[in-house]
Amino acid sequence: MAKKGILFGVGVGTGDPELATRKAWRVVGEADVVAYPAPDEGGSFSRQIMAEAISPDAIEMPIVVPMIAGAAPAHAVYDAAAARIKTYLDAGLNVAVLCEGDALFYGSFMYVLARLKDEYQVEMVAGVSSLMAAASAAQQPLASRADVLSVVPAPLDDARLEAAILGAESVAIIKLGRHLARVRGVLERLGFLDDALYISHASLPHQQFLPLADAPADAPYFSMILLYKGDALWG
Amino acid sequence: MAKKGILFGVGVGTGDPELATRKAWRVVGEADVVAYPAPDEGGSFSRQIMAEAISPDAIEMPIVVPMIAGAAPAHAVYDAAAARIKTYLDAGLNVAVLCEGDALFYGSFMYVLARLKDEYQVEMVAGVSSLMAAASAAQQPLASRADVLSVVPAPLDDARLEAAILGAESVAIIKLGRHLARVRGVLERLGFLDDALYISHASLPHQQFLPLADAPADAPYFSMILLYKGDALWG
């Protein structure tokens, strides 16, 4: 019986192909099968990042995730993707699944992982997440010394947003989208509007960072707010 | 007058040289001067990670930070380091400062940055942080969907530890060292001992991950606790 293949969960960073790790580049280049999430229409962002690394001989496998606002993760999509990946692994092929940022930081790879980890050998390749890329774009510390750093999804209700913002010295608010105006209101009410930064498309040529007060009304998916309230900032 | 050099803040990842980004490798290879924190005795960990990238023609500049437990960051050390980096930048040389993990995630680079950012061009190269490397070692999601993720330094007092642990679905407790037993006590009291994982030396050949209940009494610097309490884990 053939030896089973290995499943690789590969974080590819936030957009600049040079922000992929050397390991991501090698693992993806050597993979027999390269899988990646893709929207209904248009290209896959993670595939675009790794385009030059993928071997021309590799089998490519888009995992098409319908973009329905508010929908729960599409279990059927991941069931089908896992079943197909299984057939490759059983045939002895190594499969690399590309993940924007880091695979385990709010990523969809965990749904694939959950379905396959008990049966197959898995190797994770950690990646540069949007959190670090945003701080680099803003050239502002994320956290220092005894600071608590909280990552807070914008869809949470005002009460939880407030508690998270007040409970930490450093706050990153992610998944802004249509929640931007409300989140901005919460920060203003708490007196932090002037200290908050808005960053979009970190690491890409069109990256933007500006005071939250000057941010556009509609935030793209690849954007976040950073707020640093600590006093240990500048050593 | 010669053009001034550029200051690069380079995250080099957590130990495996392959976990450095392609950009880190290139920038460090091209740098005229490579600076890195180093202990009083023994080698620099970040230099060791990037040893094969550094040009044999580069000027190397260890920044020796005395390892005195509980001491505030050594202002004098960073004043002197900044002054020396200034002389290189003024001479038109590019200077890369190596930083374990990511430079802005609890890193000392911010002290150099604060002293030089107003006068010189700075470029940040985001890196894979210990947070992502630890989750990869444990093959466990850091956070998903609407989870709040909090990063909590172990030296905080019990009340702040408890508040941070109770306020988030996912918690990473860093800077364990001699605080491990106390932190373990807090988690046990809150009923989370059996869910917490202990990870050390993530990404290195001797990386370890085990239930916190089985962790060694004394934690090395490169270790952390991950606790996932969310219910949205496995899609």
ipTM attached to this prediction: 0.94
The arrangement of strands across the sheet holding A122-125 comes to A59-64, A33-38, A95-99, A7-11, A122-125
Task: Enumerate residues 6+ apart whose C-beta is below 8 A from A222.
Answer: A14, A15, A130, A200, A201, A202, A204
Q: Do B110 and A144 touch (CB under 8 A)?
A: yes
The first and second tokens of residue A56, run together, are 């021309």
Return the closest-CA partner of residue B85 out of B114, B106, B112. B112
The first and second tokens of residue B219, run together, are 């934690």
Neighboring chain B residues of A172 at a CB cutoff of 8 Å: none
- Interface size, chain A vs chain B, as Cβ–Cβ contacts under 8 Å: 210
Q: Do B21 and A21 touch (CB under 8 A)?
A: yes
The CATH label, of 3.20.20.70, 3.40.220.10, 3.30.950.10, 1.20.1440.130, for the domain at A130-228 is: 3.30.950.10
Q: Do B18 and A16 touch (CB under 8 A)?
A: no
Predicted pLDDT at B232: 56
Per-residue pLDDT of chain B (235 residues; tens, 9 = 90+): 579 999 999 999 999 999 999 999 999 999 999 999 998 888 999 999 999 999 999 999 999 987 665 455 578 899 999 999 999 999 999 999 999 999 999 998 999 999 999 999 999 999 999 999 999 999 999 999 999 999 999 999 999 999 999 999 999 999 999 999 999 999 999 999 999 999 999 999 999 999 999 998 888 878 999 999 976 555 4
Model pTM score = 0.95
- Give me the helix-helix angle, B158-166 and B180-189, nearest 10°: 50
* Token pair 């130990």: residue: B15
Neighboring chain A residues of B103 at a CB cutoff of 8 Å: 136
Q: Do B129 and A129 touch (CB under 8 A)?
A: yes
- Give me the helix-helix angle, A22-30 and B22-30, nearest 10°: 130
Chain A residue with minimal CA distance to B10? Answer: A136
Residues carrying CATH 3.30.950.10, chain A: 130-228
Neighboring chain B residues of A144 at a CB cutoff of 8 Å: 106, 110
B155: left (phi over 0), alpha (psi -120 to 50) or beta: alpha
Predicted pLDDT at B235: 47
Chain B residue with minimal CA distance to A157? Answer: B146
- Give me the helix-helix angle, B109-116 and B75-90, nearest 10°: 50
Q: State in Å, rounded, how far the first CA of chain A is from the last one.
A: 60
**A212 Cα to chain B: minimum distance (Å):** 20
Residues carrying CATH 3.40.1010.10, chain B: 7-125
Q: Give the DSSP H or E segment for B159.
A: helix B158-166
The first and second tokens of residue A201, run together, are 């498309």
- CATH of the domain spanning A7-125: 3.40.1010.10
Chain B residue with minimal CA distance to A7? Answer: B139
Residue B34 contacts residue A34 (beta carbons within 8 Å): no
pLDDT single digits (tens) A196-207:
999 999 999 999
